[in-house]
Amino acid sequence: MGKKKTDKPYKKPLIKRRRPNRSIGGDIAIYFVLFLIAIAMVFPMVYAIEASLKPLDELFRFPPKIFARNPTFDNFSDLFVTMSQSWVSFSRYVFNTVFITVVGTVGHILLASLAAFVLAKYDFPGGKLFFGIVVTALLFNGYVLSIPNYIIISKLHWVDTYWSIIIPAFAAPMGLFLMKQFMEGIPGALIEAAKIDGAGIGRIFLGIIMPNVKPAWLTLMIFSIQNLWNNRASMYIYSEEKKTLVFALQQIQSGGIARTGQAAAVSVVVMIVPVICFIASESQVLETMASSGLKD
């Protein structure tokens, strides 16, 4: 009798992993280019921060050095001393800027979202024409519209008030365009299912639409804060007690050579809020953009 064949141990088949069609040298080149771009993006911010920490003798040194050898906060302390000597308190300038920024940003996001919801999910006579006007408005620079805007604001008696800055921020066309493009990606079946379950328009808007377009309004929030925080408002606001913080700080920058250190500190104070808002929102924007895509 022949010998019985012994069972061979089962071997798991090898699965070949798909590799990208580029060499290791190509990967190194891509990372190197990205590294150079990252340095170019970060360098102005690092240089501004280091300049604000330099004493006056280092600020006038040639050739200039990137990093401060003897870092100090004297420029910031001198800046606050100069601001405290103004007949309008520093806190008043801060309040004016924060009030304009917060109210303008919240109103812009809310108004743009409501209008975009109607344009994206409802058909009505003149809807396409209205959106075409919004798209056309994106072609015009703010400086081109400054004279018509001033005439309208003057007719409404909003000159030298906060509303001369806040109300135009509500109607910025970029917000409406951005929100509408995102809302068009939400399936209509999702809204119809919510209506069948008994949800009203308000609940659909707040509970379904806004969470699913979170990347859009977070991005819009960053742009709005940057625009309003850095707005000097000198064209519409004349009373010193209503001036913005950026306007007051830039007046210090024009104080001559003696205030060079304070001018360097002003640059950091002006950019710190938009940068913090961007860093705080960046991860949420990337996460929601990767996980909230919906299609019909």
In this prediction the pTM is 0.77
Quote the CA–CA distance of 80 and 73 in Å, as a whole number: 11
Task: Report pLDDT digits (tens) over 53-64.
Answer: 888 778 887 787
pLDDT at 109: 92
Domain residue spans in the chain? 24-72, 83-291
Residues 206-222 pLDDT 10s: 888 888 888 888 888 88
Domain covering 83-291, topology: MetI-like fold (1.10.3720)
Check residue 80 and give its pLDDT.
Answer: 81
C-beta separation of 105 from 175 below 8 A: no
Query: For each of the chain's 296 residues, which pLDDT tens digit applies?
Result: 444 445 555 455 555 555 556 678 778 888 889 899 988 888 888 888 888 888 877 888 778 788 888 888 888 888 888 877 777 788 888 899 999 999 999 999 999 999 999 888 888 888 888 888 888 888 887 778 888 889 999 999 999 899 999 998 998 888 888 888 888 888 888 888 888 888 888 888 888 888 888 888 888 888 888 889 888 888 888 888 888 888 887 777 676 676 778 888 888 888 888 888 877 776 666 554 544 444 44
